[in-house]
Structure 1
Amino acid sequence: MTNESPRWFKSSFSENGGQCVEVATNLVAPRGVVPVRDSKNPVGPVLNVAAGSFASFVAGVKLGEFGTV
């Protein structure tokens, strides 16, 4: 187990509209998870997503499998 803290970041594609999530990919190797949180509420809850599931989600987004808003 590691005591490493998440290093949060938003996508460079995020605009300043406040509709963003932040991820901490530095925990993939030591913990096997990608923490995800609402950028508007940095002290709020964190969803820990399995690394493989997160990778599948990102691949689906890049392929346009979820449509557009």
Structure 2
Amino acid sequence: MTKLIAHMLPGVFLIVVFSLLKAYVIPAHVTFESWFVYVNFLVWVVCITVPCVIYYLRTPPGIDHK
């Protein structure tokens, strides 16, 4: 489980960076656009699912590496 968390840390870091950019750099009228809402959702999904997929491809469930 700690390896999974280690794989997810870069994604969480990217989410935090994107959220800070959205809050302080990107103008408010852009954040209310419908395309930006989809981009925001896509960034969150990619940052969470891609590290999980990479982790499970490298260590399939049911295999004990201890």
TM-score bucket (shorter structure) = under 0.3
Q: From the two aligned structures, give the one with the greater strand fraction.
A: 1
Which protein shows a greater Rg?
A: 2
Scaled by the length of structure 1, what TM-score is found? 0.27
Scaled by the length of structure 2, what TM-score is found? 0.28
Q: From the two aligned structures, give the one with the greater helix fraction.
A: 2
* Larger RCO (CA within 8 A; separation ≥ 6): 2
